[in-house]
Structure 1
């Protein structure tokens, strides 16, 4: 039996027709299962290169079908991560203002319309299955954990009108114990508070990294006014009191420096959330007697909280997938539907999530060769030995192997790797490569067999393949592992299995044999403006626009040539499909008019890039407006400048701005022989 699970929205990458569920439906993904086992799974963002995209799952679905050599006609069930009745009510609200939706009708008709418009496929009514949002979250963690019986906590901002669910799971039976609505959303409360720190949605993990720098006692009482713990594991929130934080500070402006006030608020917020969660779990552990816990939902991505739960001893074992957020609901919806339709299906502890795009060894050389004007390329005789030597010499490596990881965390197949003993790597990678805040920590990857030598691991389980827990680095190793040890002595670790990922295991083992420390610094292979790389071309682009020293793809080692912006002008240029190229006329004063050129996005107005050098680091000038207006994905920057008749001065301006635009992924560049579809 084939089941396709889907999460995400309704609009194609190039349009914004429906504008449905823009806040609720994000992190679009597709997962294909056959008899309860994953055949393929990928987030749409990896393929269309829009971070946290809520666009429709077109390319993710096509990918899954291609991997399985199947068509939509072959799929038995398509599982959607939404409650059908609630979805119908939401659609009615949208239909009041959108005549197109009124013509489409209810949720089933909507999905039939979407499959017809995207794939030319007539969806059969019996194929379509709706799975509640929080049940999808619950199923994700439950079926991946392999626990027959467990307590399940799902906790996020909002899904199907709920924000928190506590479930008693026994032999695939889910009995709901507690449900909380939007008014008591811990996820939304978190968002309300982090706005005072200059952050917004999808920045929650940044605050988790900031919290250890602060003192939670300073503002503990102010944060406690935002919630009340009730009997029987219940709670209520007082989100209207968030404005009281103005008595502490005004909201931090973007790019303003962090002060002790900000770090103290972050620490108090983290402690407040954890106090509520422990209140819930302590009660329901006693009520149910469960010794095992699984956690899912966006708040479940808080690895710091998860580590404290594990260390508390409240449960003998705790499982959290690396994709506890909404992308994981594609897995959860598919798994729940599969086990409902075939109750006899077995399930076991998942050891990995390498379900994405495969890097085939026989395609690497040809793909890299198209970038030879920019790269020195060689094929290595002994990948692990040579790359480990480079890292010991201080190099930072972009590492691409095998199938990409499903979810938001790099687990050793699309990673940036470095020597964890070099303290300066923390600043270098944050500033030159990731282009992000300096305080942000990096994760260690350690051989599964050696984790107990370096980290304080509570309980019997010592396997942490999904990087979901923050645990303490043993005190005697903290000074020797400065690049992966956070300010409080902790680290969000990943254990690496020789069975699940032999290439990554061999690299860490080679590094360990030479240094005595089988641990590597591991962070996601991307910069600040994009999702984790997926294809070889994604990796090359990220490498060329970052401070990485080397790129390793399969057995191939690449390093940068001494190229100039003028060399980049030979690349074919195109406008990103989600971009809006605008020219706006306006009055400068009562008598004069002016105009600006801007590149906006059809999904996130916060990424608008207007031509105002005082406000924008990468302005869109008139020459670039003209180039992008003429770009058809067939001609190079150099050719377009010639066709448009640019002066020497205009050409110089284009070349000066080109590296910044490419680094921020405001333009798409590829070699003439490239085969990208996007």
Structure 2
């Protein structure tokens, strides 16, 4: 049986295809349209999934949408009525869109699917899951656990903003929920907005900013904004927020509490106050997630936990849940946000609606390393590069790996375009920019000269799985870069009193370990463990680098610039290569040096995308 899952019309539209319960393909629409967080109907992603499977839509047995539009409309109406007359502005702006499109989403989906050649019966073959059930399904069904507790946290679905449940075999049951407007995700997004970052895009920046500050406002948040119970359940004081009745996240009362209006993005510098606010909301978020996890562990008696929803991308909180949450093992869906809802919807269709049994994957999990997107043959890559006017040599596998390892050891930035594109927000060694983690300058070089992004942003290490405990205070699988742990003490450097007293971005000037490019200012790192079973070529590259340097770790960041989706095609990669200061590009078995390219092909790639 084949099931197609779709998420769309809010942010991060995507499509995912299951065949006999196995994930065959999955991709976000943004990768094809080059519009970050593209929310439109995922036509390109659907076409890709079908093309990869070698089928048409007529071969699909069920199509499942990731949420229920009528329940969402019910929430809009009830919220506007509950906050009347203050909710009228939101109602006035939203209702024309709902009446024109969203209220009749089933009809609209049917029309778009028909245009792609679908001839199914919409009453029988077009199904709808609930938003948090889709998240929960995306977390449990591809996990490596026969049974597990499940925790989902995000901004809001239809009504739910958090859910707890249990998965056993093919069964998945949600036991309890927290409902809008009380939302941990929206609380975090309120501070994202207040710090001058874009909601649904800049939350990871706030997380990266937090270690530069101190949680001086934690008590103020807990005393005024959120009431957290021992079991992690919570309520917000809505008098500080504007998202129910207005078109912004925060209001004047919030601004007075924290000392001024929201930061003006791109024009107002980040201050220590913003850093302290980031540290404070991060500390509160970790506290809530930990309490929820511990309560769920005690209530269910489960040894394993699965996580999804946008808050599950908070890898610092995930690391604390692993260490302190009361579970033996945790597993996080790599596409934890709304894109992963497409995958969860497909799993709901297969296991819950159609009642097919579940088989736990014999490998790491059922996600195949999240390498579920498009790939390009060597001949196709060569033809495309020639059409672009690129200068390159073709190497065999061994020579290519050795040449890239040599370039990395020499301190060069390497674009690495191999195999199938990753599903989810992280580049995991197939659409990556790589560097030497031992270099004290690599973090600033990659941020400012390659990625064209804020200087404070940290980079992640990719480390061979068997070496992770030698370099980090963790000995667990983290294939999806969703766990943060401390750099091992034996790798840390002793700091002078003056260095320990540094504040704000001045902390960036201090090398804190023998892997300075991947050690954040608090001594932590967002870890990706690399497994030969899921990515043998990337594994081989790190081993070649280790032979030269003794170091089994690489800097790994996504192959894009600020505001750009991760590269999908060879053309995307070449444009990014030529528009930044990446030194070397390895695409399939083609090896390109920047110095050998036609200078006329170089363009300012940074200005091509709207800043995130």
How high is the TM-score relative to the length of structure 1? 0.78
Q: Is the 8 A contact 1:95 1:101 kept in 2?
A: no
What is the CA distance between 1:114 and its match in structure 2?
2.2
Residues 1:65 and 2:50 aligned together: yes
Q: Measure the CA separation in 2 of the matches of 1:287 and 1:663.
A: 50
Shift of 1:26: 1.0
Distance in 1, matches of 2:137 and 2:181, equals: 24
Deviation at 1:250, TM superposition (A): 3.1
Cα deviation per residue 1:555-609 (whole Å; 9 max; x = unaligned)?
Answer: 11112357788x35xxxxxxxxxxxxxxxxxxxxxxxxxxxxxxxxxxxxxxxxx
Q: In 1, are the aligned partners of 2:170 and 2:355 still within 8 Å (CA)? A: no
Please give the alpha-carbon distance, in whole angstroms, between the structure 2 residues aligned to 1:359 and 1:412: 15
Q: Secondary structure at the match of 1:456?
A: coil
Cα distance between partner residues in 2 of 1:393 and 1:95: 55
The answer (yes or no) to whether the contact 2:452–2:606 under 8 Å persists in 1 is no
Q: CA deviation at 1:429?
A: 0.5
Inter-CA distance 481–107: structure 2 relative to 1 (3 Å threshold): same
**1:543 is the counterpart of 2:577:** yes
Could you tell me whether the CA contact under 8 Å between 1:112 and 1:122 is conserved in 2? no
| Among 112, 118, 121, the residue aligned to 2:118 | 121
Flag the 1:74–1:87 CA change in 2: closer, same or farther, 3 A.
Answer: farther
- 2:35 maps to 50
Residue matched to 1:474: 488
Match of 1:227 in 2: 226
CA distance in 2, matches of 1:123, 1:221: 55
Report the structure number with the largest CA radius of gyration.
1
Q: Hey, what does 2:237 align to over in structure 1?
A: 238
Match of 1:279 among 291, 315, 318: 291
Residue 245 (structure 1) shift: 4.1
Greater CA drift, 303-312 or 118-127: 118-127
Q: Is the 8 A contact 2:481 2:527 kept in 1?
A: yes
Asked if the contact 1:189/1:239 (under 8 Å) is kept, the reply is: no
What SS is found at the alignment partner of 1:253?
Answer: coil
Q: Which one of 326, 338, 359 corresponds to residue 326 of structure 1?
A: 338
Larger relative contact order, structure 1 or 2 (CA cutoff 8 Å, min sep 6):
2
The answer for unaligned runs of 5 or more in structure 2 is 78-90, 242-252, 493-512
Matched with 1:377 is 392
Q: What SS does the corresponding residue of 1:481 show, helix, strand or coil? A: coil
Alignment of 1:393-412 (within 5 A): 393-412=410-429
Structure 1 vs Structure 2 CA RMSD: 2.3
Q: Is the 8 A contact 2:464 2:531 kept in 1?
A: yes
Contact 2:70 2:103 in 1 (8 A): no
Contact 1:423 1:483 in 2 (8 A): yes
The change in CA–CA distance for 1:73 and 1:386 in structure 2 (over 3 A counts) is same
- The residue number in structure 1 matching 2:529 is 495
Do the aligned residues in 2 keep the contact of 1:29 with 1:57 (CA within 8 Å)? yes
Q: How does 1:55-454 map to 2 (within 5 A)?
A: 55-83=40-68, 85-86=70-71, 89=74, 97=96, 101=100, 106-116=104-114, 118-125=115-122, 126-201=124-199, 202-216=201-215, 218-224=216-222, 225-230=224-229, 232-241=231-240, 243-247=253-257, 248-255=259-266, 256-312=268-324, 314-340=326-352, 341-348=354-361, 349-350=365-366, 351-372=368-389, 375-381=390-396, 382-454=399-471
Alpha-carbon distance in 2 for matches of 1:63, 1:160: 28
**C-alpha deviations, 1:436-474, integer Å up to 9, x for none?**
11111000111112112111115xxx2211111001110
Shift of 1:281: 2.1
Q: Is the 8 Å Cα contact of residues 422 and 483 (structure 1) preserved in structure 2?
A: yes
Conserved in 2, the CA contact under 8 Å of 1:91 and 1:101? Answer: no
Measure the CA separation in 1 of the matches of 2:8 and 2:20.
23
For structure 1, the 5+ residue unaligned runs are 10-24, 569-657, 668-678
Aligned residues: 553
Deviation at 1:105, TM superposition (A): 7.0
